[in-house]
Amino acid sequence: QVQLVESGGGLVQAGGSLRLSCTASGSIFNLGVMGWCRRAPGKQREFIANITSFGSAKYLDSVKGRFTISRDNDKNTVYLQMNSLQPEDTAVYYCHADMKESWFSTYQEHWGQGTLVTVSS
């Protein structure tokens, strides 16, 4: 059984920083794109950032220059460094990853349980 476990969320004041981590475990032949989405209260889920196994990254425009996504392939872990946090960043942040269980399998997207980030004014 494959799992994605996030950590690093919490309460922070506006202007502060947090670093989120997400580690994949289980039967993994190959890890493809990994990334982060978030869901703010009363709003739809939105894409934040993702990164390929080769390090090519994409970002939501509103977080460019503030957030940095990275990954450690040896640890099956993706990170999200969040700086200059603002109240509008308050949301549950979810990790996702494309995983391939064997050479003959197709990639399937998996999701973590989420970690809450609360930014106070």
Tokens (6 digits) for 85: 């946090």
Task: Number of helices (H) and strands (E) in the chain: give both, helices first.
Answer: 0, 11
The residues with which 31 forms a beta bridge, in sequence order, are 99
Task: Return the pLDDT at 1.
Answer: 80
Q: What is the pLDDT along the chain (121 residues), one digit of tens a residue?
A: 889 999 999 999 999 999 999 999 998 999 999 999 999 989 999 999 999 999 999 999 999 999 999 999 999 999 999 999 999 999 999 999 999 988 998 999 999 999 999 999 9
Task: Return the pLDDT at 2.
Answer: 87
Residue that has been written with the tokens 């947090």 in this structure: 18
Task: Return the pLDDT at 87.
Answer: 97
Q: Give the whole-angstrom CA distance, residue 61 versus residue 6.
A: 23
CA-based nearest residue to 10, from 103, 82, 109: 82
Task: Return the pLDDT at 101.
Answer: 87
CA-based nearest residue to 22, from 58, 56, 54, 48: 48
Q: How many Cβ atoms from other residues are within 10 Å of residue 87's Cβ?
A: 11
